Amino acid sequence: MKFDLIDRVTDRDAASLSAVKNVSAAEEYLGDHFPGFPILPGVMMLETLVQAARHFAAGADDPPTTPLVIKEVRNVKYAGMVRPGQTLDVTVTLRKRDGHAYDFQGVGKVGGQTAVQGRFCLEPIAQSH
């Protein structure tokens, strides 16, 4: 199953990309997380940042030719919940690029308040020979 979490890219420049994820009560995984008190799982918040970073890389002058996967995640902090009806506004900022390997800082906010933040590295998926 593929989760496309980016609803819309809202801004992009040479070093960053901003996007939104509108959380809907109709999202299947919210039924179990948690019954009677649905919130966007932390791993889905992180995945939203990662997907925004992939959008950034895809828009590069020389985009990767293979899918980008997570190489490393550092210092992820969850500071708030995201409930159905709310919007997670994410911004990813490129810290460093080495070929098609990317190092990002990301932050996700709801109503101006930080819900998730952290650093992560993406690299092209290894091709089998």
Rounded-to-5 percentages of helix, strand, coil across the chain: 15, 45, 40
Is 55 a catalytic site residue? no
Residues catalogued as catalytic: 33
